[in-house]
Structure 1
Amino acid sequence: MTPLVTAAVLLAAVTHACWNAIAHRITDKLVGFTLILAGGVLIGLAAAPFAPLPARGAWPYLIASALIHLLYVVLLMTSFRLGDFGQAYPIARGSAPLAVTVFAAVFAHEVPDRWGAAGIALTCAGITGVALWGLRGRRPDWAAIGAALATGLSIAAYTVVDGLGVRVSGSPVGYTAWLMVIQGVAIPAYAVGRWRGETVARLRPYAPLGLFGAVLSVCAYGLVLWAQTRAELAPIAALRESSILVGAAIGALFFKEPFGAPRIAAAGLLVAGIGLMLHAG
């Protein structure tokens, strides 16, 4: 985890939290994700001619990732519909790093050393603290929590698949572009088939916001994919999920959701975890 890789993943974390906040801000989740995914398709088509085509060995990973991403989007829409942004987002993102650590050890043979493992553990503890603070003073909504946890498992699955795929692609930019194209077609196609003649009227009020979210989404994941060609998957996944602190801050500032001292303490654990992962690097 060099300083350049760390900076790229932290920037990805900020942009990721921002596009998720935009998706949450648009009341009709199908409208929001249709705009964001369709925008990603357009960006991917625009970028693809200027990047090398991914190597043949990368295409099975691209197809598998697109299917997992489709499941992820459906679960994420459900999470945002059922729960608060400041709770659903941390649980969804925070449940992924430990699963990525296990998957990376099994499928990529990447076992973190003691410093890296300690950093991942501290980071996950901070993430968990932010997530659990969202439950304070309320009965748990198990449907919302279950959807968020399922979202986290889907995140872990596509993280490892894409980490392996981008490494054999020979072109992080090309892999990103084609992933955006392949994964982004299904939800907009479903929306158009459902709305038919009402499509433009439904999308127009949120089009600028949704397309801005698409730009942020592509940048966020493109940075992560590049980082995965430079460092191991588990610490990148843990560092990327520092986005939940940004998400919690956005929830407090814009959605009037509580932040509180426990989340500040959780942030301290997360920063300590990042320091240990850098030491391991």
Structure 2
Amino acid sequence: MTLTVFLAVIFAALLHAGWNAMVKGGGDKHLAMAGVVIGQGLFAIPVLAVAPSPDPASLPLMGAGILLHLGYQLFLLAAYRSGDLSQVYPLARGSAPLIVAAVSVLFLGVTLAPLQIGAVALIGLGIMSMALARRADGLRNRGAALLALTTGCFIASYSLVDGLGARVAGSALGFYGWLTIGNMLGFVAIAALRWPATLRRVPRHGLKLVFLGGGASFTAYALVIWAFTQAPIALVTALRETSIVFAVLIGVFVLGERMNLAKVVSTMLTLAGVVLLRYVRHGP
């Protein structure tokens, strides 16, 4: 992974943490998700005007990606209704890179150096251990833990499909732009059937999420999609999930949350994995 790709993914992680903080801080999670998804689609329109068209061979992967993103978004909303997702969400974000790395090595023929595997493991375990920083009983709630791990499977699945699709497409932005439009149309159709009142509130109460959240989310994942075409998907996925470190820092320094020893240890484990990921490439 080159320094340019590394820094691009780190910046994407920061953007990801930012828009997730906006969603977390809002009272209506359905409105927040609708605003962000619609915003992503709106930002994709001007990009498609200049991006090369994706190779038609990538269309099946694009369709699968749209379905996986929709499943992830709907499942995430269901998880919010089931309990305090902040207790178990680290399990989802931390398990995803571990799943992607395992699938990549065992089934896709990707070769990772032992230190790269160690870096991915450190990042994944560091993120997952943040669940221990919560005093609530999220880890003892089997249903909540199952929701988190299933969410991790969705994240891992769309990461692999999107990464492979962008490579086949020959145009990372073209592929992601059309995938985003499809995702937006699918989400709006579902929302119109299930939460029509929420959808009608977006123009009046969700414009901040549309433009700020949607813009940050689109830019963040566009960088990640591009990175998928430049480096192993497993390494990019692991590095992207360090967004949770930025989320912790935002919580402490912006939202006034407490930093305890468990959070410090988890953050240090994750950052150790990030440093190791760079060391593998540029170390002696």
| TM-score, L = length of structure 1 | 0.91
Whole-angstrom distance in 2 between the partners of 1:201 and 1:157:
31
Question: 1:165 matched to which residue of 2?
Answer: 165
Q: Percent identity over the alignment?
A: 35
For residues 74-85 of structure 1, what are the structure 2 equivalents within 5 Å?
Answer: 74-84=74-84
Q: How many residues matched?
A: 280
Q: The residue matched to 1:185 in structure 2 has which SS?
A: helix
Whole-angstrom distance in 1 between the partners of 2:188 and 2:240:
27
Equivalent residues of 1:39, 1:211 under 8 A apart: yes
Q: Does 1:138 align with 2:102?
A: no
Superposition deviation, residue 196 in structure 1: 4.8
Whole-angstrom distance in 2 between the partners of 1:52 and 1:161:
20
> Which segments of structure 1 move beyond 6 Å, counting only runs of 4 or more?
none
Question: 1:59 matched to which residue of 2?
Answer: 59
Question: 1:129 matched to which residue of 2?
Answer: 129
Equivalent residues of 2:30, 2:198 under 8 A apart: no
Question: 1:94 matched to which residue of 2?
Answer: 94
Whole-angstrom distance in 1 between the partners of 2:20 and 2:102:
26
Structure 2: which amino acid aligns with 1:173? Answer: L
Residues 43-78 of structure 1: CA deviation (Å, up to 9, x unaligned) = 212211211110111111110010011110012122
Q: The residue matched to 2:137 in structure 1 has which SS?
A: coil
Question: 2:220 matched to which residue of 1?
Answer: 220
For residues 202-217 of structure 1, what are the structure 2 equivalents within 5 Å?
Answer: 203-217=203-217
Superposition deviation, residue 178 in structure 1: 0.8
Whole-angstrom distance in 2 between the partners of 1:198 and 1:150:
26
Whole-angstrom distance in 2 between the partners of 1:89 and 1:137:
13
Whole-angstrom distance in 2 between the partners of 1:69 and 1:110:
24
Question: 1:24 matched to which residue of 2?
Answer: 24
Structure 1: which amino acid aligns with 2:6? Answer: T
Whole-angstrom distance in 1 between the partners of 2:64 and 2:101:
20
Structure 2: which amino acid aligns with 1:138? Answer: D
Q: The residue matched to 2:224 in structure 1 has which SS?
A: helix
Cα separation, partners in 2 of 1:254 and 1:82, compared to 1, 3 Å:
farther
Q: Which runs of 5+ in 1 are unaligned?
A: none
Superposition deviation, residue 232 in structure 1: 0.5
Cα separation, partners in 2 of 1:111 and 1:80, compared to 1, 3 Å:
farther
